[in-house]
Structure 1
Amino acid sequence: MKTKALFLDRDGVINIDKKYVHKIEDFEFCEGIFELCDFFQKQNFLIFIATNQSGIARAYYSEKDFEILSSYMLDEFLKKGIKIEKIYYCPHLENCECRKPKPGMFFKAQKEFNIDFSLSFFIGDNLSDMQAGINAGIKNLFLINENYKDEENYKVCKNLKELLHCLKDKK
């Protein structure tokens, strides 16, 4: 049986994007992220994070720093009863296959977890996220960014609470 997945970008979706966040004290969860994940988890979606982390290649922080922060983040989700299945990240600066807008991280998850992209969702906060979702063939794409309007391939919401409200209305 194919798996339904919720993919989340990190900076700007899970946490407030303060540019190259790599310390626990700078990590601030976005309002509504736990409620959103709980909503999907209750519908048997596996939850994944797909994030570009070019700060590693830029030497702003190390892969170890990223791992420490990721461990903290996963623990905070678990405290709320939410399991994040896996974090996929691209530490590169150059144009590689895993760096969004390329779909490499999504294809890796699809292969590892037998994911059906036609049943899956991806929530990001910039156009390269949406392009990555389109390139992967993910059917349900949501852009959290009030500076844009809905497009043919994705819907725009100003924040996670608005997105959750829209999703609950569809049920």
Structure 2
Amino acid sequence: MTATSTRPAVFFDRDGVLNHDAGYLFEAAKFEWMDGAREAVRLVNEAGYFAFVVTNQSGVARGFYEESDVHALHRWMAEQLALAGAHIDAFEYCPDHPEAVIDRYRRDSHRRKPGPGMITDLMMRFPVAADKSILIGDKPSDLEAAEAAGIRGLLFREGNLETFVRQALSLLA
């Protein structure tokens, strides 16, 4: 691919960035959007960036919920975002954990943050301009994953996500 066919991307962590971290969240009924989250995704869409979600989901490995529950929540999120005129280009999650109670998920995975695998997998599937892309996370492991993938990581702690994203995009322009 040529440089002209690539686009920048914003990789969003899910829990603690797009939604309040309720701990092992898998039910839409318990999902609470972060202030400005839907508007932030719409802002990314309107700027012509890819919008991706990259989320560790060790609750699967721990037996708290199934992968189908993760898919169902992501479908619900996509529906809610569509109502706000926004969309996510792809959701990626890692169900693995080295101390999993479910055997098939008990492993060290390069996809589990701080590993870069979810990000690099998306960059292989989509024409992402890595030098103009960012990850927004709420934990040091998110920033480590971004650095390992060769993109800039920004730490979001609290406040309005739309305001945060607007400032982040202005730095990239």
In 2, distance between residues paired with 1:116 and 1:169? Answer: 17
**Long gaps (5+) in structure 2:** 99-107
Shift, 1:167, TM fit:
3.7
In 1, distance between residues paired with 2:132 and 2:169? Answer: 16
- 1:40-78 C-alpha deviation (Å, 9 max, x unpaired): 111100111000000000000011111111111111011
Of 7, 10, 32, which aligns to 1:3? Answer: 7
In 2, distance between residues paired with 1:70 and 1:85? Answer: 12
Q: Are the equivalent residues in 2 in contact too, given 1:51–1:90 (CA < 8 A)?
A: yes
Q: Does residue 1:53 correspond to 2:54, yes or no?
A: no
Q: Are the equivalent residues in 1 in contact too, given 2:39–2:84 (CA < 8 A)?
A: no
> How much is the aligned-residue C-alpha RMSD, in angstroms?
1.6
Q: Are the equivalent residues in 2 in contact too, given 1:100–1:132 (CA < 8 A)?
A: yes
How many aligned positions are there? 159
Counterparts of 1:1-171 in structure 2, within 5 Å, are 1-94=5-98, 95-139=108-152, 141-145=153-157, 159-164=160-165, 166-167=167-168, 170=171
In 2, distance between residues paired with 1:92 and 1:145? Answer: 25
Shift, 1:106, TM fit:
0.7
Q: Are the equivalent residues in 2 in contact too, given 1:145–1:159 (CA < 8 A)?
A: no
Q: Are the equivalent residues in 2 in contact too, given 1:144–1:159 (CA < 8 A)?
A: no
Instruction: Calculate percent identity across the aligned residue pairs.
Output: 33
Structure 1 residues 169 and 132: CA distance shift in structure 2, 3 A: closer
**Long gaps (5+) in structure 1:** 147-157
User: 1:151 maps to which residue?
Assistant: none
Q: Greater relative contact order: 1 or 2 (C-alpha under 8 angstroms, separation 6 or more)? A: 2
- 1:18-41 C-alpha deviation (Å, 9 max, x unpaired): 100011111111001122112211
In 1, distance between residues paired with 2:170 and 2:6? Answer: 25
In 1, distance between residues paired with 2:55 and 2:145? Answer: 11
What TM-score do you get using the length of structure 1 for normalisation? 0.87
Shift, 1:162, TM fit:
4.3
In 2, distance between residues paired with 1:56 and 1:38? Answer: 29
In 2, distance between residues paired with 1:15 and 1:163? Answer: 14
